[in-house]
A = this chain, B = another copy of it.
Amino acid sequence: MNDRILGDDASRGGARGGTLVTKRFFALDGKGYEAGALSAKQKELLGLVASMVLRCDDCIAYHIDQCVAVGATDDELWETFDIALIVGGSIVIPHLRRGVEFLDMARAKAAM
């Protein structure tokens, strides 16, 4: 799907894909999470809590994978879940449940 959006028209059989604006947005989205004054792990935890209070499951799954990849511990992730739960309320609970499933899958994959 990323190629469908970001690739050139030839690669998708001539169908129109993302504009220059779309492509720049995707590039900026990647750049925002690069380590700076905050580490990559801190930024991924920020992305995770933002995704949880906005209740976007795909975004939660993505950021949990990234958090695991850059070394976040379970304790750090649960404390991040708690901030999301307190700020966002019980409406976050179904997304927290799915977050735990995503985390278990990410840990299982990393253990293989």
Contact = CB atoms under 8 A, between A and B. Distances in A.
A53 to B, nearest CB: 5
Q: Which has the most chain B C-beta neighbours within 10 Å: A74, A80, A82, A94?
A: A82
B89 A86 contact: yes
A85 B31 CA distance: 13
Interface residues of A, number: 63
A83 B73 CA distance: 21
Contacts of A42: 42, 45
A59 to B, nearest CB: 6
Interface in A46-71: 46-47, 49-51, 53-56, 58-59
Contacts of A4: 100
